[in-house]
Chain A
């Protein structure tokens, strides 16, 4: 009850003002047969110290201090301490959606800055305040393409994260949006010939991922030519935001859907993360999610407000661009602070370190006898190797050395055999890479 600011006598006084004898009278509207008569069967009330201890125990069961080679949509980057220091300010984390701009300029201005930086990094004209994550954002982007083009068919690359594809399948199933999947070629990039055959003048949107699930940077320009030739929109999903520090933004895309977790968001066993959607000016009115715009107050001073809300569910109801309401604002603030810390030079340097570590690892693994799949095209900080041994065996040995190995791909891409996906970031040490290289060789 330590969160409740009332004494028994406060409650008595309030009940007496209201004119009822007991608080149960206020629940009289609930039919008696349904009212609970006893306690809920949940654990007793814990002291704060016990709560901390309980979660410390759970954290310990989770295995701490492991080096990791896992990526696949969730990346282990260093988080500058400034981020948590700032997002822990109650003014940020205990506020809500800035419906009253006069007392929410802090949130509004920070979102405006976030939108600006996302535009700078992605090469798009306009970005929204956030989506739930990269997977749902990608699904919403395909739906957006349907609204813009008035067409219904969608095409998706099989090199898009398999779980993104599952989410998209769930989203579009009942929206009369037939979905076709296009495979990858020998080099790990989307099969351009197959794409050319599939995209037709009924195709609304084509979704690709870059770096794709294998870590490979797609040839966005070549893909865009095929897609645009048929009047369809190109949607590029970016799962690893740090790649934008060194990889050209997908300028030919019509919609960019990004997962910004890499920008200072804890791995947190998969969430909360931060989806972002960015697009061309001309498509902004079909974009889902919140948007912050600049305006002035009555004295002509610059200020910021939520804007273009006639796209949204609270105004448009069943005709809205999406049902999204609550987004990932505080997580977007983490990303904003991260982008501000690293900035124009730092993001590049950070990306260079990721690139160097991953390429060193790929080289070492190759030297140890593993086969680097798709080695003819550029990759960023993830790559796929094929080993003689089944990856779980390798990973078991690494786990004993407190190293979490790469992701076995058999579950998602059985055709690749003993393939696994490895990720290196700036936090991956040479020692861990060398240790892993020894194990993949056996």
Chain B
């Protein structure tokens, strides 16, 4: 182990095969209670659709399952280990109380169709979270139904479309800045819109003159991330909104970067008409290795009639219930009411912070990003020197002179005990290093990260070959992604079957 590496060291980790390789007939990890009704003969009840065999499903014992997944878990890097500065993903601390309350039986075991009179607690949680998110965003109305950010985008653009249709013309296209997440153009296409790219100016912001030229009566909306993916606040945001509104178009705000704004400024106040939030980013619900997320969509009054069905209402008798009678609604975007378990966690997060805590959280997130920028900008190129909010984007231009790219620096960072930043995004920065520390990092952790990045910058100058082969201290070295895609092996098969093929 390299003595320069202070944060991490190697340790024993257990090897573990695929679960199928541990399976053998007769092992069991389950026990069902005795059947208290007469057994039925599957074949006589189901006839020809009765299944005979479950193929290669595993047969293992409970201790093997515990060890299997525990061993696998130790091969992951997670927020619980340390800084996870994946830009635009807001990898913040996931509070344990959130997990505890989400698992309370009355909430975790509630069936979505159980009568409203025995669902008042769940309905109250939906109502409270809705109200608080409306306050935080400065909007007028909200739906919690979308299952993730991209799903929220789709919901939001469908609201725009329904509104414009009600005005007589849905229009033809959506403007998307070149710095936007890939989900934005993909969403616009799913909603039946053409996508038109909008160039950024030299400060990394929307070019107002270009916007004015591009906004015609054909434009339905601009999808804008603010702060944008460069971590830059769109300073002319109100003018952007004005340009759109003057032509009857709307401003959609991608709330992926809301962690830079909560408690400091509200999108509803600066002209956004509709936006989504990512509860798994800003509101601390766990990322879970890739999900589940939750993507509430908040909007202004003019879009409210079009929100998905159902909405929670207070009934005449004072109890809460669902209203399904919404003739102008875009319809459902998901069965039931959304990822309710995430609502519980997000509400617990907001309660644990209160107004001061949320503001301090945002301030710390922005402070952390600026602190990293200050200490690293002499070693890594900063393509846009516009003020940084919650994330900072460098490029690998200096290191590429020695053949070292952003992806290589990322791999070397792993050896130093950190999860890498987001690699090669946003696309407007060739060779981008997109770093979002979040508020969850202490000064000590940030200093160690700065130290690691400094060491790597030095290695890039002095011994670039060291970086090119990193990581060294992981279970596996770099994996062959090209081979994986060329001849995809997407499932396990028994050895015998492979041989006969």
Question: For this complex, into which size category does the number of interface residues on chain B fall?
Answer: 35 or more
Say yes or no: is B290 at the interface (Cβ < 8 Å to chain A): yes
Closest A residue, CB atoms, query B170: A174
Given the interface pairs A106-B75, A295-B481, A378-B45, the reply to whether A63 lies near B341 with Cβ below 8 Å is: no
- B225 beta carbon closer than 8 Å to chain A: no
Q: Which of B86, B111, B122, B367 contacts A96 (CB 8 A)?
A: B86
Task: Confirm or deny: B147 has a beta carbon within 8 angstroms of a beta carbon on chain A.
Answer: yes
B232: chain A residues within 8 A (beta carbon): 29
Stretch of B51-59, B209-217, B393-401 that contacts chain A? B51-59
Q: Which residue of A lies closest to B236 (CB)?
A: A31
Residue-by-residue, is B430-442 near A (CB-CB < 8 Å gives 1, otherwise 0)? Answer: 0000000001111
Query: Residue B351 at the A interface, CB < 8 A?
Result: yes
Q: Are A268 and B340 in contact (CB under 8 A)?
A: yes
Provide the bound-state CA to CA distance between A91 and B78, in Å.
5
B111–A74 CB distance below 8 A:
yes
Q: Are B69's CB and A3's CB within 8 A?
A: no
Contact of B187 with A34 in the complex, beta carbons under 8 Å: no
On chain A, the residues within 8 Å of B291 by CB distance are 130, 272, 326-331
Q: Is there an interface contact between A163 and B336, defined as CB atoms closer than 8 Å?
A: yes
Chain A, 109-131, CB within 8 A of any chain B CB: 109-110, 112-113, 115-117, 119-121, 125-127, 129-130
Q: How far is the CA of A37 from the CA of B222 in the complex (A)?
A: 28
A-B contacts counted at CB < 8 A amount to: 685
Chain B residues in 8 Å Cβ range of A301: 476-477
User: Which range contains the number of A residues in contact with the other chain?
Assistant: 35 or more
Among A50-58, A179-187, A196-204, A365-373, which stretch is in contact with chain B? A50-58
Judging by beta carbons under 8 Å apart, are A51 and B351 in contact? yes
Interface residues of B in 456-481 (CB under 8 A from A): 471, 474-481
B257 interface residue (CB < 8 Å to A): no
Least CB distance from A384 to B in Å reads 15
Q: Across the interface, do A5 and B266 meet the contact criterion of CB distance under 8 Å?
A: no
Q: A436 near B: Cβ within 8 Å?
A: no
Neighbouring A residues of B273 by C-beta, 8 Å:
none
Check B370 against A18 for contact (C-beta < 8 Å). Answer: yes
- Out of A2, A309, A341, A426, name the residue touching B352 (CB < 8 Å): A2
- Does residue A442 face the partner (Cβ distance < 8 Å to B)? no
Q: Within the complex, what minimum Cβ distance (angstroms) separates A57 from chain B?
A: 7
Complex contact A167–B333 (CB within 8 A): yes
The digit string for B406-421, where 1 denotes a CB below 8 A from any CB of A, is 0000110010000110
Per-residue CB contact flags for chain A residues 390-418 toward chain B (1 = under 8 Å, else 0) read: 00000100010000100100000000000
A30 touches B264 (CB 8 A): yes
A3 near B336 with CB under 8 A, answer: no
Q: List 9 A-B contacts (CB under 8 A).
A: A5-B440, A62-B122, A102-B471, A115-B490, A174-B158, A246-B51, A267-B111, A272-B340, A323-B154
10 extra A-B contacts, CB within 8 A, seeds A120-B57, A176-B192, A322-B186: A2-B352, A29-B386, A80-B29, A94-B91, A103-B414, A112-B491, A130-B291, A248-B49, A309-B485, A317-B185
